[in-house]
Amino acid sequence: MPIHVVVLAAGQGKRMMSDLPKVAHLAAGRPLIGWVLKAVDHLQPANVVVVVGHGAEHVQPYLPDGVVAAHQVEQLGTGDAARVGLGALPEVAADDTIMILYGDMPLLTGDLLGRLADRPADVAARMVTVEVDDPTGYGRVIRDDHGLVIEVVEQRDGDSSQLAVREINAGSYAFRAGDLIDALGSVSNENAQGEYYLTDVIAILVEGGKSLEPVEATPQEVVGINSQDQLSEASRLLHARNNRALMEAGVWMLDPDRTYIDDTVVIEPGARIYPGVHLEGSTTVAAGARVGPDVFAEDTSIGANSTVWYSVLRGATIGEECEVGPYASLRQGTVLERGAKVGTFVETKNTTLGEKAKAPHLSYLGDATVGAGSNIGAGSITCNYDGYEKHRTEIGEGVFIGSDTMLVAPLKIGDRAVTGAGSVITQDVHEGALAVERNEQREIPGYSDRRAERHAAKETED
Q: Identity (one letter) of the amino acid at 435?
A: A
Alpha carbons 403 and 56: distance in angstroms, whole number: 55
Site string for ligand UD1, 93-132 (x = CB under 6 A): ---------xxx----------------------------
Nearer to ligand UD1, 177 or 202 (CB): 202
Q: In whole angstroms, what is the distance from residue 437 CA to residue 174 CA?
A: 78
Within 13 A of 144's CA, how many CA atoms are on the CB side? 8
Q: Min. distance of Cβ 200 from ligand UD1 in angstroms?
A: 8
Residue range at the interface with Ca ion (CB under 5 A); choices 102-110, 377-385, 426-434, 444-452: 102-110
Q: Contact between 224 and Ca ion (CB under 5 A)?
A: yes
In terms of CB distance, is 104 or 179 closer to Ca ion?
104
Buried/exposed code over 188-207 (b: 16+ C-beta within 10 A; e: otherwise) = eeebeeebbbbbbbbbbbbe
Interactions with ligand UD1, residue window 186-215 (CB under 6 A)? 197-199
Give me the least distance between CB of 293 and ligand UD1, in Å please: 37
The closest alpha carbon to 357, from 332, 388, 323, belongs to 323
Q: Please, are residues 222 and 234 in contact by the beta-carbon 8 Å criterion? A: no
Residue 361 catalytic? yes
Binds ligand UD1 (CB under 6 A): choice among 6, 10, 43, 340: 10
Pairing of strands 97-102, 167-176: antiparallel
418 binds ligand UD1 (CB under 6 A): no
Among candidate residues 392, 399, 346, 401, the one with its CA nearest the CA of residue 369: 392
CB atoms within 10 A of CB 367: 18
* 152 part of the interface to ligand UD1, by CB under 6 A: yes
For ligand UD1, the closer of residues 149 and 285 by Cβ is 149
Residues 8, 128, 187, 273: which binds ligand UD1 (CB under 6 A)? 8
Q: Considering the complex, state which of residue 81 and residue 124 has its C-beta at the smaller distance from Ca ion.
A: 81
Q: Determine if 223 is a binding residue for ligand UD1 (CB under 6 A).
A: no
Stretch that binds ligand UD1, among 2-10, 238-246, 346-354, 413-421 (CB under 6 A): 2-10
Q: Which of 105, 141, 135, 112 is nearest to 218 (CA)?
A: 112
DSSP assignment of 123-148: -SEEEEEEE-S--TTSPEEEE-TTS-
> 138 touches which of Ca ion, ligand UD1, none (CB within 5 to 8 A by kind)?
ligand UD1
Please report how close the Cβ of residue 129 comes to ligand UD1 at its closest, in angstroms.
9
Report which secondary-structure segment, H or E, holds 376: strand 375-376
Q: Would residue 24 be called left, alpha or beta, if left means φ above 0 and alpha means ψ between -120 and 50 degrees?
A: alpha
When the beta carbons of 16 and 376 are compared against Ca ion, the nearer one is 16
Q: Which of 63, 97, 113, 154 binds ligand UD1 (CB under 6 A)?
A: 154
Q: Tell me the C-alpha to C-alpha distance, in Å, between residue 182 and each of 154, 172, 206, 325, 329.
A: 22, 19, 13, 64, 61
Q: List the one residue from 31, 34, 139, 292 that touches ligand UD1 (CB under 6 A).
A: 139
In angstroms, give the least distance from the CB of 313 to ligand UD1: 35
Q: How far apart are CA 405 and CA 399, in angstroms?
A: 13
**Footprint on residues 162-181 left by ligand UD1 (CB under 6 A):** 168-171
Work out whether 224 is an interface residue with ligand UD1 (CB under 6 A): yes
Burial class (CB in 10 A: 0-12, 13-18, 19+), 258: middle
Task: Name which of residues 28 to 87 contact ligand UD1 (CB under 6 A).
Answer: 51, 72, 75-78, 80-81
Interface with ligand UD1 (CB under 6 A), residue total 29
For 169, 191, 225, 270, 321, the CA distances from 325, given in Å and listed in that order, are 50, 60, 38, 21, 13
Q: What count of residues does the chain have?
A: 462
Out of Ca ion, ligand UD1, none, what residue 51 binds, judged by CB under 5 to 8 A for its kind, is ligand UD1
Amino acid at 36: V
Shortest reach from residue 235's CB to ligand UD1, in Å: 17
Query: Which does residue 197 touch among ligand UD1, Ca ion, none (CB within 5 to 8 A, set by kind)?
Result: ligand UD1
Contact (CB, 8 A) for 335 and 317: yes
Q: Out of 42, 361, 391, 430, pick the active-site residue.
A: 361
Residues at the contact surface with Ca ion, assessed by CB under 5 A: 104, 224
Residues at the contact surface with ligand UD1, assessed by CB under 6 A: 8-11, 23, 51, 72, 75-78, 80-81, 102-104, 138-139, 152, 154, 168-171, 197-199, 224, 226
User: Which of the residues are catalytic?
Assistant: 361
